[in-house]
């Protein structure tokens, strides 16, 4: 069953255009309130269901926060507001405060002109597809404001960031610290700006910060996990031991070594997995996605670890981990899930797991991941103005078949629509970068033809 508004990570779009308008977001808050708070068996008589609402640093967050609050309170749901807080922080506090749901106003790694709404259940996990279908169905109903005596209330939680900082620190061994390490952290002018530096500093590191001066318009702008050249340059400039780059809402992670070399999600997951194997605490295998590098799969095999691929999207990695009873998974883009530490992907906590591996082993990022050789991947994003059914477009199928025949088992092709932007993503992987680029450009051309 297709969804009209929800993508792979909630509802997202350009602010001021459907669906990211004050009117729609108010109706979304009302519909979500009705669905997420429908189970009152966990409430005492007369107790209101309560949701937690946080946001990143986009200027549109003020407007959307007010609209969401209006919708929830109209449905008779109390609202606790945190202000700017990383997405995984909302997931943690929703569970810690025993609330019915958590909501994040963020468009993650997108530019400030975009924004979105994503939801967590009371257990701190992203909503299953079935619940999102229920919310979409409820959107067709008119708002029936609760009786004045049953309206929800809104209040601020002043210590939300401090609570989350302590939670992040608790994921790092008490007997270990980061003294002697100079770390550059790039917070992308996003929701981690007042959290990540404190976590690292309180664990003993010398911290150099960039991307910690949000003004509502500069989130993800030439910085953070999606623009790692900024981190690389800063690490080399300050002669730091390591660099950490987070995205606008704090659920993605990239890292850099002292030479400024960038390590992506695949490499970081491998480092965590190797350390857990060597420490004897690895449970099950590793879950990646269709985009996970083939070299990663081969390297995990050498560690005798099973590997499975989910659909693209950390929510699908989570679902597969739960299905298999595994604890570790992630995406090339930097979403990393350590299920023994948190219920969702968390850039800060994932960075701490990597730092623990390096401290224990006395190795660098490059040394500890030396057995992982990544195949060249060429990704081309093809903008589209209309829906393209990749499975039925003959020109695309013929181009893909031609590429597969040429590369054989030594290459991989992934074609998929973006869940957050009007794009078709074309990825080709091969031991030869020239071969990967040739076929990626060839297939992307066929997609452009189909989209016109």
Question: Is 106 designated active site?
Answer: no
How many Å apart are CA 97 and CA 119, to the nearest integer? 16
CA proximity to 361, closest of 300, 260, 274:
274
Query: What are the C-alpha distances in Å from 377 to residues 203, 291, 334, 421, 427?
Result: 36, 9, 16, 21, 7
Both structure tokens of 279: 């420490």
How many Å apart are CA 374 and CA 27, to the nearest integer? 46
Is residue 193 a contact partner of residue 120, using CB atoms and an 8 Å limit?
Answer: no
Both structure tokens of 440: 């990626």
Looking only at the bridges linking them, the beta strands covering 182-186 and 242-246 are parallel
Both structure tokens of 262: 């960038």
CA proximity to 10, closest of 97, 93, 121:
121
Can you name the residues that pair with 379 across neighbouring β-strands? 427
Query: What are the C-alpha distances in Å from 374 to residues 263, 270, 295, 321, 386?
Result: 11, 11, 5, 23, 34
The residues, any chain, with a CB within 8 Å of residue 349's CB and separated by 6 or more, are 88, 168, 171, 338, 341, 342
Is residue 17 a contact partner of residue 3, using CB atoms and an 8 Å limit?
Answer: no
The residues, any chain, with a CB within 8 Å of residue 29's CB and separated by 6 or more, are 67, 68, 69, 70, 71, 72, 74, 75, 103
How many Å apart are CA 36 and CA 119, to the nearest integer? 10
* Residue 243 phi, psi (nearest 5): -130, 145
- Please report how many Cα atoms fall inside a 13 Å half-sphere around the Cα of residue 278, on the Cβ side: 13
DSSP assignment of 202-225, as one string? HTT-EEEEES----SS-TTTT-GG
User: By three-state DSSP, how is residue 155 classified?
Assistant: strand
Both structure tokens of 102: 């958590």
Q: Among residues 60, 106, 108, 121, which one is catalytic?
A: 108
Catalytic residue numbers?
108
């Amino acid at each position: 069953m297709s969804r009209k508004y929800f993508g792979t990570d909630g509802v997202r779009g350009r602010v001021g255009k459907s669906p990211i308008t004050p009117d729609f977001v108010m109706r979304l808050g009302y519909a979500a309130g009705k669905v997420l708070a429908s189970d009152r068996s966990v409430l005492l008589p007369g107790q209101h269901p309560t949701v937690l609402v946080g946001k990143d640093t986009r200027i549109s967050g003020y407007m959307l926060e007010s609209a969401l609050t209006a919708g929830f309170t109209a449905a008779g749901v109390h609202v606790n507001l945190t202000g700017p807080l990383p997405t995984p922080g909302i997931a943690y506090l929703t569970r810690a405060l025993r609330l019915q749901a958590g909501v994040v106003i963020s468009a993650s790694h997108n530019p400030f002109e975009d924004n979105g709404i994503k939801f967590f259940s009371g257990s701190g996990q992203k909503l299953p597809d079935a619940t999102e279908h229920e919310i979409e169905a409820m959107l067709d109903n008119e708002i029936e404001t609760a009786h004045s005596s049953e309206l929800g209330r809104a209040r601020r939680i002043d210590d939300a960031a401090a609570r989350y900082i302590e939670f992040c620190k608790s994921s790092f061994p008490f007997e270990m610290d980061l003294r002697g390490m100079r770390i550059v952290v790039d917070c992308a002018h996003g929701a981690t700006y007042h959290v990540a530096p404190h976590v690292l500093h309180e664990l003993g590191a010398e911290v150099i910060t960039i991307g910690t001066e949000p003004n509502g318009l500069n989130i993800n702008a030439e910085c953070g996990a999606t623009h790692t050249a900024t981190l690389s340059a800063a690490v080399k400039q300050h002669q730091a031991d390591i660099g950490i780059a987070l995205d606008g809402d704090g659920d993605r992670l990239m890292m850099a070594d002292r030479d400024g070399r960038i390590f992506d999600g695949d490499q970081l997951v491998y480092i965590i997995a190797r350390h857990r194997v060597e420490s004897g605490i690895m449970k099950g295998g590793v879950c990646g996605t269709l985009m996970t590098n083939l070299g990663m799969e081969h390297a995990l095999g050498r560690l005798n670890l099973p590997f499975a691929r989910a659909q693209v999207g950390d929510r699908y990695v989570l679902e597969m981990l739960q299905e298999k009873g595994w604890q570790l998974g992630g995406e090339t883009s930097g979403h990393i899930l350590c299920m023994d530490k948190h219920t969702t992907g968390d850039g800060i906590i994932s960075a701490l797991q990597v730092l623990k591996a390096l401290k224990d082993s006395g190795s660098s990022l490059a040394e500890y991941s030396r057995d992982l050789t990544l195949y060249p991947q060429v990704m081309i994003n093809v903008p589209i103005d209309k829906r393209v059914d990749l499975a039925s477009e003959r020109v695309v199928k013929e181009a893909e078949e031609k590429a597969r025949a040429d590369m054989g088992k030594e290459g991989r092709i992934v074609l998929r629509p973006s869940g957050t932007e009007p794009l078709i993503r074309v990825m080709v992987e091969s031991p030869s970068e020239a071969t990967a680029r040739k076929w990626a450009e060839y297939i992307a051309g066929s997609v452009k033809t189909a989209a016109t």
